[in-house]
Structure 1
Amino acid sequence: MKLLLITAITEFENDMKNILVKSGAKSFTYHTVQGFKNEKTSNALENWFASSYSETESLLFTVFVSAENSVQILEKIREFNGKQETLSKIHIALVALEQQF
């Protein structure tokens, strides 16, 4: 079992939902978050919230999936990001769960 933490700008909401559903995610949660980074020297390409100087309305998805499904989700996000012409991308952190109840 894997825990995925995914951030995306609100404009990518429907795309992200489609990626999760088509990759076999049975359920997930998401909510609005305000992304902020106060580093004037940061590289905008490395910033998860796409802006170094201001707040950005983003979404945080929390997803519990099998290892197999996590691979599919990672591949679909990589493909989606490769097609984007904007600086903003979908970002994902994958956490392996040792125990679950």
Structure 2
Amino acid sequence: MKLVIITSISEFEKEIKQILVQANVKNFSYKEVIGYHNSSNEAIGENWFGTEMNENESILFYAFVPVENVDLVFTAITKFNSQQETKSKIHIAAINIEKSN
């Protein structure tokens, strides 16, 4: 079991839900959040929000995912990101779960 954390701009909410369903993730939670990035020392092209704005309407998904399904989620997100023309991408991380109840 791994804890999968996904963040992106709110506009990708529908696509993330589809990715999770297609990867056979049966239960997940999500919440609207304000994403913040201090881009004062970066060029706009390196800012993952894709603008000079420091705050953006974002979304945070989290799910406990069986190990065998984690690569399906990563692969689908990598494919989605490779097809985007925008600077904003879906970000994903997986954390090992030592114990759960």
Could you tell me the TM-score, scaled by structure 2's length?
Answer: 0.90
Q: Residues 92, 43 of structure 1: CA spacing in aligned structure 2 closer, same or farther, 3 A cutoff?
A: farther
Shift of 1:4: 0.5
* Count of aligned positions: 101
User: Structure 1: 5+ residue runs without aligned partners?
Assistant: none
Per-residue CA distance 1:34-70 (angstroms, 9 max, x = gap): 0112231136566554445421000000111111111
Conserved? CA contact 1:10–1:59, under 8 Å: yes
CA distance in structure 1 between the partners assigned to 2:14 and 2:59 by the alignment? 11
Structure 2 SS opposite 1:17: helix
> Which residue of the partner structure matches residue 15 of structure 1?
15
Residue 29 of structure 2 aligns with an amino acid whose one-letter code is T
- Give the alignment's Cα RMSD to 1 decimal: 1.7
User: Structure 2: 5+ residue runs without aligned partners?
Assistant: none
> Which residue of the partner structure matches residue 34 of structure 1?
34
Structure 2 SS opposite 1:60: strand
CA distance in structure 1 between the partners assigned to 2:70 and 2:45 by the alignment? 24
> Which residue of the partner structure matches residue 56 of structure 1?
56
Could you tell me the TM-score, scaled by structure 1's length?
Answer: 0.90
Structure 2 SS opposite 1:40: coil
Q: Residues 50, 61 of structure 1: CA spacing in aligned structure 2 closer, same or farther, 3 A cutoff?
A: farther
CA distance in structure 2 between the partners assigned to 1:18 and 1:60 by the alignment? 15
